Amino acid sequence: MNHEAALRLRLVDLETALTDQGRTRIHSDKNTTALEDIEDDVRRFHVLKARVERLEALWSINQRKRETRGKIIIGGAVLAEAGEGLMLGDSALLAQLVDILDRRVDRVRDRLTVRELLGNVPLSLRPGGDKAESLDDALRNAGEVLPNFDAMAETAMAEDLEAESFEKSASDDAEIVPH
C-alpha cells in the first residue's frame, strides 16, 4: 500500500471516529475540494496529508475534552454521594475521600481549594502538615510563595502612567501650530 492510500485510510478512520463521537461538519463543505477533483498528484497528496493532520488534531482535542468531562462527572458523583452520606450521618466515604486527597494532592493552593470545597474538612494544607497550620506558614514550609500582589499592582499602575504620559507627549508633538 502506498503512502497516499494509507493516508486515505487514516482520513476515513478519523472521520468515522469523530462522527461516532458526535462531531459534525468535520469538513467545511464550501471550502473543501474533493480529493478526486485535485488532478495534480503532489498537490492532492499535500491536501490529503493536511486534512489527516487537521483531523488528528481535532481527535486529540476531542479526547482531552471527553477525558476532562469524564473526570468532572466522576468527581461530581463522588462528591454528591459523600455529601448525601454526611447528611445521613455516615461520614465513612468523606473520611476515605479526605484520606485519598491527603495522599494524592500536593500543592498547598490545591489542598486549600479542596478543603474549602468539602466544607473545611480536616485536611492539612500540605502533606504531613498540621491541620491548624495557617496558609502563609503552609506556603512557606512547602517552599511555595504567593506573588507579591502589591508590587504587581504598583508596577501595573506605573506602566499605565508611563503609557499615558507617552501618549500625551506624542499627541502634543503631533499638534501642528500655525505660525
Domain spans of the chain? 1-90, 91-179
Confidence (pLDDT) at 30: 62
Nearest to 75 by CA among 116, 111, 117, 109: 117
Q: Is the pTM here over 0.75, yes or no? A: no
Q: Residue 155 pLDDT more than 60?
A: yes
The backbone torsions φ and ψ at residue 126, rounded to the nearest 5 degrees and listed phi first, read: -150, 150
Residue 174 pLDDT more than 60? no
Give the dihedral sign, CA 31/37/42/45. Answer: positive
- C-alpha dist (Å) from residue 22 to 26, 46, 56, 152, 178: 10, 27, 16, 45, 68
Burial of residue 45 (number of CB atoms within 10 Å: 0-12, 13-18, 19+): middle
Q: How many CB atoms lie within 10 A of CB 69?
A: 10
- In tens, the pLDDT along 102-140 reads 999 999 999 999 999 888 888 999 988 888 888 888 888
Whether the pLDDT of residue 178 is over 70: the answer is no
At residue 153, does pLDDT exceed 80?
Answer: yes
CA 165 from centre of chain: 38
CB 170 within 8 A of CB 163: no
- pLDDT bracket for residue 96 (50, 70, 90): very high
- What pLDDT, in 10s, does the model give residues 13-37? 998 898 888 887 776 666 678 888 8
Q: Does the structure show a pLDDT above 80 at 100?
A: yes
CA–centroid distance for 76 within its chain: 18
pLDDT for the residue 161: 84
Give the pLDDT confidence score for residue 179 in this predicted structure. 53
